[in-house]
Amino acid sequence: MTFDPTKSDRELHHRALVRAAWGTVPAELPPPPDPAPLAVAPTGRRARRSATRLLTLLLFGVWLVGCGNHHQGVVLWHAYNGAERTALESTAAQWNAQHPEQELELVAVPYGAFADKLTSAIPGGNGPDLFIYPQDRIGDWADSGVIEPIEFWLDDKRVERFTNEAIAAMAYKGSLWGLPVTVKSLALYYRTDLVETPPASTDELLALAPRMHARDGYAIAYANVDLYGHAPWLFGYGGKIMDDTGKLAIATPEAAAAMGFARELVTTGAAPTRSDGAYVATLFNEGKAATVMSGPWFVADIASNVPWKVAPLPVVSATGRPAAPFLGAEGILMSARAHDKTAAFAVMDALTSDQAAIARARLARQVVPNPAAYEDAEVARDPVLAAFRAQLANTVPMPMGPAMRMVWTPYKTALGEVLAGRAEPGEQLLAVEREVHGYLSGPATH
Amino acid sequence: MSHPVVRQLRDFVLGSALAVIIATCAFVAVRNRELAAKQIDLASRAADAIAEGQAPLPTVHAVLVGDAVPSTKNPYLRQREVKDGDEWRPLTAGGSFDDKLFYDAASRFERQGRQPFKELLKDGSGCAIAVRDAPAYAQLGHVADRSRGIAIAVTPPAHPAPYPFLVMIGVLGLGAALAAAGALVGGRAARAGTFAGVAAVAIPCVLWRAPIASTAIVLVAAALALAQGAQLTDRLATGMRRHRTALGFLAPAALAMLILVAAPFVIGLVLGFYDHHQGTWTFVGLDNFGEILSGGGRPLDDPLNFWFILGVTVLWTVANVALHVTIGVSLALVLSRKWLAGKGIYRMLFILPWAVPNYITALIWKGMFTGEYGAVNSMLDYAGLDHVSWFGSWATAFSANVITNTWLGFPFMMVVALGALETIPKELYEAAAVDGASAWQRFRHITLPHLRPALGPAVALGSIWTFNMFNVIYLVSAGQPGGATNILVTDAYRWAFERGERYGMAAAYATIIFFILLLWTVFGTRVVRRKGDDS
């Protein structure tokens, strides 16, 4: 337990006036001593002394300015690059033009360190006020008090500017923890020079294989050893990660069937044995893969001379259900230690407005969760956004419980073993479930 | 020799400084605990008052909050009303500063099955909140069909009591007087004075009811008195005076070591006794160590079993160091030949792997080992051999790691061996040649014994580096398949960051690794070194 008055927003509330006075101090600093004596200083000691004094004053000034600015405005951390970053920055610039008193400061943080940084900085009162992150950590962070519930500020009208799936992805334990910025799922990219109509079922997909074989290629390429890439088959076959009560339900006959299908794709030569993002792009660009299962980010990897389109994923012929990828939603979340929560929410609200969504869809081709954005003429014309929007109807929200984060690696190992033909799906799935249980149990059983 | 009173005061300053640190820690702990208890009690009484329909306490912001009315379309949107003062009003944005707090507290209360709770707010303000059921809501009869309400009270921010400077100064003055008086009497009384003077600092601790701190201070006082009796303090002071310059030079480095090495080390050690779950730390004693050392109930061939990982780590270290030394020494022998042309170029080329940052090398090797399009498999293809799925089985994944680390590690051994070879006197070889010794005999009886003193420490150092070679394992095999190629450090990392923030487990792992390496440096290297000295 710590008492640190400087880091408490309640304290700030009580001291707002005092702080305002502090903010003016730097302006009243005496002007720095004339630097001229430095140049003509007769003795080294005097020059040194005035230099030291100057330095001290400068440092003091910097410190004061730092103090004065520290709590004003809203700080948002993000891990965006390229067009997404430009789009976010343009919306931020708009906010800043309209609200000079509540300046929004964007801080780009490398994605690799993002989550760990937040988890360690926020409880100490040092993190950002807002940050953009996929929803899969919401459960963790909500349970450990890192993020702030926001439904207090919301009403039906505000919430209904998002699609149900997207806003539901921000809900956990009956509260809302963020506003969605973009939704990401897989869809089917296909080369129009190799297939005229995209395969509507997995049977049609398998039927493509012989023709592609003749070209030394594959019917479909996707990140098949990753759970994320495999998920469309898993859910298309009716498999699960967790049941409705949040308990692990990894080893089911349906999941085994889905893994069996992934193996069939490999053994029949319809898909390469082990592929990741870079390899998938190479195959597609060289015309060695007729279709690719990937997300909106794949557009950037396609060579300019490749004729392509995007369509929703095919139906799983064995079950008649459409293949359903994970739905990942990225949202703006609020730190539980945000300095001015009302102001932070206003920023959140503005950055996820329909206008902001249109700007992001236009500039960064983000699949935005605001239906109104698709009424914008330019956004409506974009066939890629249309395909991904159509896919949204058949998606499974990524589970948010802390257990989910421990599933990825064991599942990947299991897929690798099965696809390499070294193990049977059933036994591997059991091993995954055992391993995740092993992580969850500990000396202090929670 | 200076005046006895001056010496006595010098010792007193030393002892009382320690005592003041202990007393300050005790003060902060006691003050925080008391303040928290006081605030929580205040909030709880206010919540009780408002729940029972009595007048609220004057300084506390206490309200009644109605049950949630969920929105029909969006169940996570709930409307509430609040009775703040005499009037009921909707609990929405734009009300009082505490409204958000009331709203979230009410939601949490309902989510936790209407269990009352009282705690300090986690924002460091010192405010406490108390939440409980309010049956009075029904009697107030605001809305007939909602029978229960929630009483919530938030205390104003609290400021911890200021540090009692006057008390401390007074106590220190008293202590100094006692110590000086003892010194003036001299002899045994001087020691008694020291003891009494330092122990005086314990007085406020007794008043704060901090038994551990009081005892610690008395022990410090006793230890100081004993040290004074054995003239340890005098000797220390003389030593420090004599080596003043040296100590001055050492101070910056010592300070840096204290902050950068000693402090994290101690913190890590302590964390090993705690369990971290969702932001809260629980003291669990030796449970973490117990779980690790017992293998956590997992079979011995389970990659999560500590002993399995330890086995892999030892094998990894032995295989690497053996390869580093063999390859390094062989290359050094070749490079030390007189007849070899372009020696400088070779030497530079062989040192190159060492000069490249090791994570870059590891990533390059990782790329070369990948399945279908990696360079290694392409070369196997070229040679007409089958592809190897490098990270599919334990043996190949482990080999991939060893190959990478061998590439990284041999230059060091080579450089060490080259240096050692330079120092072997030529006369020995000439004499051996005159005696008709074969090349092998010369290597066995002249070169090798001369290499040993240099290679011994290098092997000790290399084994410690390899034992903790995080980068190669993490980047090349990443523990595949199924975590079976993890070594102790990478597994510790995974406990901390990939298996639900089990920081306590990770810290316990780190402590165990430290003790393994400590044992190795103390005993293992002695073996290596003795071998070197024997010959």
With beta carbons under 8 A apart, name residues in chain B contacting A341.
100
pLDDT at B144: 45
pLDDT at A123: 80
Task: Select from B76, B294, B387, B498 the residue whose CB has the most chain A CBs within 10 Å, as the one to mutate to test that interface.
Answer: B76
Kindly determine whether residue A5 and residue B97, on different chains, have CB atoms separated by under 8 Å. Answer: no
Kindly determine whether residue B124 and residue A3, on different chains, have CB atoms separated by under 8 Å. Answer: yes
Task: Select from B27, B67, B77 the residue whose CB has the most chain A CBs within 10 Å, as the one to mutate to test that interface.
Answer: B77
> In which band, very low, low, confident or very high, does the pLDDT at A44 lie, cut at 50, 70 and 90?
low
| pLDDT for residue B50 is more than 90 | no
> In which band, very low, low, confident or very high, does the pLDDT at B185 lie, cut at 50, 70 and 90?
confident
Kindly determine whether residue A10 and residue B275, on different chains, have CB atoms separated by under 8 Å. Answer: no
User: Which is it for strands A74-78 and A104-108: parallel, antiparallel or unpaired?
Assistant: parallel
With beta carbons under 8 A apart, name residues in chain B contacting A279.
372-373
What does the DSSP assignment read for B411-439?
A: HHHHHHHHHHHHTS-HHHHHHHHHTT--H
* Per-chain mean pLDDT for chain A: 81
Q: pLDDT tens, A83-134? A: 888 889 999 999 999 988 888 999 998 877 788 788 878 887 888 999 999 8
CA distance A1 to chain B (A): 7
pLDDT at A55: 61
> In which band, very low, low, confident or very high, does the pLDDT at B99 lie, cut at 50, 70 and 90?
confident
pLDDT at B170: 93
Phi, psi of A249 (to 5 degrees): -140, 60
> What's B313-331 look like in SS3?
HHHHHHHHHHHHHHHHHHH
pLDDT at A54: 60
Least confident of A122-131, A222-231, B94-103, B525-534: B525-534
pLDDT at B207: 87
pLDDT at A393: 84
B206 vs B385, residue with greater confidence = B206
* Distance between CA atoms of residues B272 and B496, nearest Å: 12
Kindly determine whether residue A405 and residue B498, on different chains, have CB atoms separated by under 8 Å. Answer: yes
Q: Give the closest of B76, B123, B481 to A171, CB-based.
A: B76
Q: Give the closest of B279, B304, B505 to A123, CB-based.
A: B279
| pLDDT for residue A61 is more than 60 | no
Q: Is the CB of residue B513 less than 8 Å away from at least one CB of chain A?
A: no
CA distance B77 to chain A (A): 6
| pLDDT for residue B202 is more than 50 | yes
Q: Give the closest of B92, B373, B481 to A279, CB-based.
A: B373
Q: pLDDT tens, B312-324? A: 999 999 999 999 9
* Per-chain mean pLDDT for chain B: 85
Kindly determine whether residue B100 and residue A154, on different chains, have CB atoms separated by under 8 Å. Answer: no
For residue A4, the chain B residue with the least C-alpha distance is B124
Q: pLDDT tens, A376-401? A: 888 888 888 989 988 988 888 888 77
* Distance between CA atoms of residues A6 and A339, nearest Å: 10
> In which band, very low, low, confident or very high, does the pLDDT at B530 lie, cut at 50, 70 and 90?
low
pLDDT at B259: 92
Contact B200, B207 (CB under 8 A): no
> In which band, very low, low, confident or very high, does the pLDDT at A322 lie, cut at 50, 70 and 90?
very high
Q: Cβ atoms within 10 A of the Cβ of A21, count?
A: 10
pLDDT at A248: 86
| pLDDT for residue B458 is more than 50 | yes
Task: Select from A151, A156, A334 the residue whose CB has the most chain B CBs within 10 Å, as the one to mutate to test that interface.
Answer: A151
Strand partners, B70: B78
Q: What is the DSSP-derived secondary structure letter of residue B446?
A: I
Q: Give the closest of A154, A422, A440 to B392, CB-based.
A: A422
Least confident of A338-347, A369-378, B93-102, B247-256: B93-102
CA distance A363 to chain B (A): 31
Least confident of A14-28, A185-199, B46-60, B234-248: A14-28
Task: Select from B114, B283, B391, B499 the residue whose CB has the most chain A CBs within 10 Å, as the one to mutate to test that interface.
Answer: B499
Strand order of the β-sheet with A289-294 is A218-221, A289-294, A187-191, A308-311
Q: Is the CB of residue B112 less than 8 Å away from at least one CB of chain A?
A: no
pLDDT at A26: 38
Let me know the angle formed at the C-alpha of A310 by A307 and A314, rounded to the nearest 5 degrees.
Answer: 125
With beta carbons under 8 A apart, name residues in chain A contacting B501.
119
Least confident of A172-186, B362-376, B500-514, B517-531: B517-531
Q: What is the mean pLDDT of residues B41-70?
A: 83
A/B interface, count of CB pairs below 8 Å? 154
Q: What is the DSSP-derived secondary structure letter of residue B466?
A: H
pLDDT at A22: 38
Q: What is the mean pLDDT of residues A136-141?
A: 84
Cα separations in angstroms, A340 against A145, A158, A346: 17, 21, 10
% of chain B beyond a pLDDT of 70: 94
> In which band, very low, low, confident or very high, does the pLDDT at A49 lie, cut at 50, 70 and 90?
low
The predicted complex's ipTM stands at 0.71
Contact A133, A78 (CB under 8 A): no
What does the DSSP assignment read for B270-328?
A: HHTTEEEETTEEEE-TTHHHHHHHTGGG--TTSTTSHHHHHHHHHHHHHHHHHHHHHHH
Q: What is the mean pLDDT of residues B482-487?
A: 83
A125 vs B147, residue with greater confidence = A125
Q: Give the closest of A152, A420, A422 to B93, CB-based.
A: A152
Least confident of A54-58, A95-99, B507-511: A54-58
B97 vs B406, residue with greater confidence = B406
Q: Which residue has the tokens 């003062």?
A: B85
Task: Select from B31, B74, B97, B503 the residue whose CB has the most chain A CBs within 10 Å, as the one to mutate to test that interface.
Answer: B74
Q: Cβ atoms within 10 A of the Cβ of A119, count?
A: 18
Least confident of A2-6, B160-164, B174-178: A2-6
Whole-structure pTM over 0.80, yes or no? no
Q: Which residue has the tokens 């300070």?
A: B255
Kindly determine whether residue B74 and residue A402, on different chains, have CB atoms separated by under 8 Å. Answer: no
What does the DSSP assignment read for B180-220?
A: HHHHHH-THHHHHHHHHHHHTTHHHHHHTT-HHHHHHHHHH
> In which band, very low, low, confident or very high, does the pLDDT at B404 lie, cut at 50, 70 and 90?
very high
> What's chain A look like in SS3?
CCCCHHHCHHHHHHHHHHHHHHHCHHHHCCCCCCCHHHHHCCCHHHHHHHHHHHHHHHHHHHHHHHHHHHCCCEEEEECCCHHHHHHHHHHHHHHHHHCCCCCEEEEECCHHHHHHHHHHHHHHCCCCCEEEEEHHHHHHHHHCCCECCCHHHCCHHHHCCCCHHHHHCCEECCEECEEEEEEECCEEEEECCCCCCCCCEHHHHHHHHHHHHHCCCEEEECCCCCHHHHHHHHHHCCCCCECCCCCECCCCHHHHHHHHHHHHHHHCCCCCCCCCHHHHHHHHHCCCEEEEEECHHHHHHCCCCCCEEEECCCEECCCCEECCCEEEEEEEEEECCCCCHHHHHHHHHHHCCHHHHHHHHHHHCCCCCCHHHHHCHHHHHCHHHHHHHHHHHHCEECCCCHHHHHCHHHHHHHHHHHHCCCCCHHHHHHHHHHHHHHHHCCCCCC
Kindly determine whether residue B123 and residue A274, on different chains, have CB atoms separated by under 8 Å. Answer: no
Residues in chain A: 446
With beta carbons under 8 A apart, name residues in chain A contacting B99.
152
| pLDDT for residue B477 is more than 80 | yes
pLDDT at A56: 65
Q: Is the CB of residue B497 less than 8 Å away from at least one CB of chain A?
A: yes
> In which band, very low, low, confident or very high, does the pLDDT at A325 lie, cut at 50, 70 and 90?
very high
Q: pLDDT tens, A6-42? A: 444 555 444 443 333 333 333 334 444 444 444 444 4
Q: Give the closest of B100, B275, B389 to A444, CB-based.
A: B275
Q: What is the mean pLDDT of residues A303-319?
A: 92
Least confident of A213-227, A371-385, A395-409: A395-409
With beta carbons under 8 A apart, name residues in chain A contacting B290.
443
pLDDT at B460: 87
Q: What is the mean pLDDT of residues A216-224?
A: 91
A124 vs A327, residue with greater confidence = A327
| pLDDT for residue A402 is more than 80 | no
Q: Which of B 199-258 lie inside 8 A of A, CB atoms?
A: none
* Distance between CA atoms of residues B52 and A167, nearest Å: 39
Let me know the angle formed at the C-alpha of A124 by A72 and A104, rounded to the nearest 5 degrees.
Answer: 25
